[in-house]
Structure 1
């Protein structure tokens, strides 16, 4: 390198949002709520609940708010999935990462979409993985199925609102 120092450039990480996989038990299995996006980003693609963290919010508070805003669902038993959704933005050269939460909801709660989505469907895990908009979402769904649907989650991951 002719004595010149090689300077390395780091790709910045941004953690400004959350992802929430909502589950409800139907007959003998858990179903996943998938939403079809209306906006320009991932337009017409199936995703789970997600959104930004507002100033002063904890990530889990943002998760509950996004669930309320995007689905109208108010009663959620929330857990940290101990997983992260992530992707690289080539346009802006950063790595986006978001903590993933899992919310159990009662079958009786109706879904009321806001303007961000045009359609919703409670899907089996297989259907949700097949319809997932981006690679990586299917891996998160696989993880959630293994640790939150096939067995009871650890109480250490439970989020108890104001007790946290």
Structure 2
């Protein structure tokens, strides 16, 4: 008797971005508090959809600009991915995580998607995020992008 097996599709339709700034006290991570109906009140890093014709890194730069008004970013791909399973639509969402370095004096102007922002130490940011897996992403970024200089071949958008 043969069984038919079905796959749960993978969908890569978005990006995630962790912004860092180097301060005299060490690297700080930008977290945003969501203001929209999806994830209202949850603190997270930047994320959003990839639009038609965009490369993932281009979507990352656009999302940074739209959500924070920051335009001067040195962007790297991290080789890490956000992921979750959508029970409602039966697919696995996967998004490449990018790391952006910004100047210490960078101003943040939030759009309507967020109500607050904070630049936090890695330890405080890891404690603040509530989505499962966000803490692991931040630990990874701390190890490979704050405690060590990133590899230049990971740089994108030059």
What's the TM-score once normalised by structure 1's chain length?
Answer: 0.94
- Give the superposed CA RMSD: 0.8
Give 1:66-145 correspondences, 5 Å limit: 66-145=63-142
Could you say which residue in structure 1 is the equivalent of 2:26? 29
Please list the CA deviations of residues 21-66 of structure 1 after superposition, one character each: whole Å capped at 9, or x if unmatched.
Answer: 0000111400000000011111100000000000000000000000
Please list every run of at least 4 consecutive aligned residues from structure 1 whose deviation after the TM superposition is greater than 6 angstroms.
none
User: How much does 1:73 deviate?
Assistant: 0.5
Give unpaired runs (5+ residues) of structure 1.
Answer: none
What's the TM-score once normalised by structure 2's chain length?
Answer: 0.98
Distance 2:157 2:132 in 1: 31
Distance 1:83 1:9 in 2: 27
Could you say which residue in structure 1 is the equivalent of 2:151? 154
Give unpaired runs (5+ residues) of structure 2.
Answer: none
Distance 2:86 2:135 in 1: 19
- SS across alignment from 1:98: strand
User: How much does 1:133 deviate?
Assistant: 2.3
Could you say which residue in structure 2 is the equivalent of 1:62? 59
Compare CA radii of gyration and give the structure with the larger one: 1
Contact 2:75 2:100 in 1 (8 A): yes
How many residues end up aligned between the 2 structures? Answer: 158
Contact 1:129 1:141 in 2 (8 A): yes
Distance 1:148 1:23 in 2: 9
Could you say which residue in structure 2 is the equivalent of 1:47? 44
Distance 1:90 1:129 in 2: 26
Distance 2:15 2:56 in 1: 7
